Structure 1
Amino acid sequence: MGIVANTVALCQFQVAGELPAGDLYEWVAARLAGQAFHPIDQELAEQSVGWVHLDDHRQMDFAVPAAFWRDHYVVFTLRRDQRKLPAALLKAYLQVAEHEYLAANPGLNRVPKQKREELKEAVRANLLAKTLPVPSAWDAVWDTRSGIVSFTSLSAPVMELFESQFKKTFDGLRLVAIHPFARAERVVAGELQPALAKANQATSDAAIDLIRSNQWLGWDFLLWLLHRTMTETSEYRVTREGTALAGEPFVAYLNDRLVLLSAGENGTQKITVAGPQDHFREVRTALANGKRITEATLYLEKDENSWKLTLKGELFHFAGFKAPKVTIERDNTVDETSEREAAFYERMFVLEEGLQLFDSLYATFLAARLGAGWGEELARVETWLGAE
């Protein structure tokens, strides 16, 4: 699903490294063009990876601003065309080729190893020539003001491919995942930064260490939010900068679906609780028995607008991120390109507002979690878990 779709999968990265001095537009245009997608329809290559236009995946020319430049956003799409040969098909055709070779060489009982490799490559090339490449595409939006890149895939191999292609394209720059601890550093109040640093359980600055050693952030956040969903008003205030004004009220709560996990001697146990919940009895029982919430459906509401997403607690990825629908009124005096750009800006407005609300909610949690009253808060949660 693309960035302009009503529902999107979303992960975020921070761009690390120094941007070049001078005209950023010219530099980005040259870099995208240098790693533009190359079609393989008329070739035998198994795979081609490169950049194409956000609005038209058949276009890979970045010579004009409309191709990738939107005010302070750089927008581009990673396209991968891939030919895939089923292993069973390759094996079947290779057996036929070996049989024909042995029939032509009656003095042999088996195909020599080197010849078998040659036959395998020939069969593979022949099958690839008859197989059309399958295209896949994922959108990226780079906010050059904040240095944040939003990417529309949560697949680990695809994210790795994107990070690699970004680094290859933009000399001197790399992407750093915005995981729970990294997001905490971005949103926590200044006076709580020392407390956050002290709570950091990682022994290095490596992203994988910061993620694995600080899983408590996702666990405690979702537990805290579940408790407040059931016992409080669920009303919060905007505290982070963005499209919504500071101090504006919004509502946040969990519902519909939660995933709980526990690890023990018998391996990992996973429980999924789906459907609207009244008292979360099954969830509370699982939590009281030591399970952790690792994934949940979160609702955010402000004025007449609402957002719905599935939060992946370990990485803070947003699956099924549904924002208010963007509707652009068509005007015969406006061309199609302008309409698409208007839709993009409206889409980014509602997405960024939803993320602003999420960050404000997360900052509220961190203020409680890192503050002096967390022990009392935890005691109230434990009492609630044990209540009938």
Structure 2
Amino acid sequence: MTLETIKAKDLALGQEFLTWAWFRSVHNNGQWQTTDGVAFGLIFEGRVMVQSGEGEYLESAVCSGPGGELHEAKSGLARGKKVHQAKLRMDEDGQGWQVTVKAEDFSTAGFKTPKVEFRLEEGQDPDGPFLEKMYLIERGLFFFDQMFLQFLKLRFSSEWSQELNAIRKWVAADE
């Protein structure tokens, strides 16, 4: 297997994951649950890049809009484009995380956690704000990992074909 083949397979899996996560977020009104039953929210935060083709024939469209109302990106899916990058917002108990994810290598950019107060009161542990920030980073990544775990379990199960049909219907619904 060549490096290009591995990259192409990773890209396809990443594109499937982001498309599925978008579909599930719309379908479930942004409501998700971890494997141990913790509720959290996930929405596509108004920025999605879709692509088709390769090399000099690569076509990209970056679509922005409020919430999940990304009609241009969704119509790009209907025309055969794939989700290449998306800005996600995860929420738990009024706290929010934002991250942009690329399909090709699952790299993240612009990861933002809930705000941490770094001003110390007298007698507070000086490591407290740092430890809180690390916890919040870990928590946001945990939610992302939970989504990916759910995707992989479904993707490699016999139920994937039904899910794929539901995604196709969702994509075609706006045409």
Asked whether 1:344 is paired with 2:136, we answer no
Shift of residue 234 of structure 1? 2.6
Cα displacement (A) at 1:281: 2.4
In 2, Cα distance between equivalents of 1:265 and 1:344: 44
Query: What is the aligned counterpart of 2:66 among 276, 279, 287?
Result: 276
Distance 2:81 2:60 in 1: 9
1:360 aligns with 2:156: no
SS of alignment partner, residue 276 of structure 1: coil
Q: Does the 8 Å CA contact 2:47/2:65 hold for their aligned counterparts?
A: yes
Residue 22 of structure 2 is aligned to residue 226 of structure 1: yes
Aligned partner of residue 325 in structure 1, secondary structure: coil
Distance 1:233 1:287, change over 3 A: same
- 266 and 328 in structure 1: CA distance in 2 versus 1, 3 angstrom threshold: closer
Q: 1:253 aligns with which of 22, 28, 43?
A: 43
Q: Relative to structure 1, is the Cα distance of residues 315 and 278 closer, same or farther in structure 2, using a 3 angstrom cutoff?
A: closer
**Cα distance, 1:286–1:220 mapped onto 2, change above 3 Å:** same
Deviation at residue 329 of structure 1 after TM alignment: 5.0
Secondary structure, in 3 states, of the residue corresponding to 1:261? strand
Paired residue type of 2:31: E
Cα gap change, 1:349 to 1:285, in 2 (>3 Å): same
1:380 aligns to 2:166 (yes or no): yes
In the alignment, structure 1 segments of 5+ residues that lack a partner are 1-202, 240-245
Map of 2:88 onto structure 1: 298
The separation in 1 between residues aligned to 2:161 and 2:109, in whole angstroms, is 32
Distance (Å, rounded) in 2 between the aligned partners of 1:323 and 1:217: 26
Q: Does 1:330 align with 2:111?
A: no
- For the Cα contact (< 8 Å) 1:255–1:299, is it kept in 2? yes
Superposed CA offset, 1:317-338 (max 9, x none): 121111011114523346xxx5
User: Which of 1 and 2 has higher RCO (CA within 8 Å, sep 6+)?
Assistant: 2
- Cα deviation per residue 1:62-97 (whole Å; 9 max; x = unaligned)? xxxxxxxxxxxxxxxxxxxxxxxxxxxxxxxxxxxx
Question: Retained in 2: the 8 A contact 1:311–1:318?
Answer: yes
| CA–CA separation in structure 2 for the residues paired with 1:287 and 1:215 | 16
Question: CA 1:278–1:310 in 2, change beyond 3 Å: closer, same or farther?
Answer: closer
Give the TM-score of the pair, scaled to structure 1. 0.42
1:213 aligns with 2:3: no
Larger radius of gyration: 1
* AA matched with 1:351: I
> Which residue of 2 is the match for residue 310 of structure 1?
100
Q: Retained in 1: the 8 A contact 2:25–2:31?
A: no
In 1, distance between residues paired with 2:68 and 2:119? 40
Question: Hey, what does 1:96 align to over in structure 2?
Answer: none
Alignment match of 1:263 (pick from 53, 58, 61): 53
Matches within 5 A, 1:28-177: none
Contact 1:230 1:279 in 2 (8 A): no
The letter for the 1-side match of 2:155 is: R
Say if 1:302 and 1:278 are closer, same or farther in 2 by CA, change over 3 A.
closer
Contact 2:44 2:68 in 1 (8 A): no
Task: Give ranges in structure 2 of 5+ residues lacking alignment.
Answer: none
Report the residue type matching 2:76 in the other structure.
Answer: A
Query: Following TM superposition, by how much is the alpha carbon of 1:214 offset from its aligned partner in structure 2, in angstroms?
Result: 2.2
SS at match of 1:294: strand
Does the 8 Å contact 2:49/2:73 carry over to 1? no
Residues 329-351 of structure 1: per-residue CA shift (max 9 Å, x gap): 523346xxx52x22221110000
What SS does structure 2 have at the residue aligned with 1:215? Answer: helix
Letter in 1 for 2:22: L
Query: Do the aligned partners of residues 278 and 350 (structure 1) sit closer, same or farther apart at CA in structure 2, a change above 3 Å counting?
Result: closer
Identity of aligned residues (%): 28
The one-letter amino acid of 2:64's match is A
1:218 Cα offset (Å): 0.8
Counterparts of 1:331 and 1:232, CA distance in 2: 42
Question: How far 1:312 sits from its partner (Å)?
Answer: 1.4
Normalised TM-score (structure 2)? 0.88
Q: CA offset at residue 284 of structure 1?
A: 2.0
CA deviation map 1:194-226 (0-9, x unaligned) = xxxxxxxxx37x7x7644432121110111111
Indicate if the aligned counterparts of 2:42 and 2:90 stay in contact, CA closer than 8 A: yes
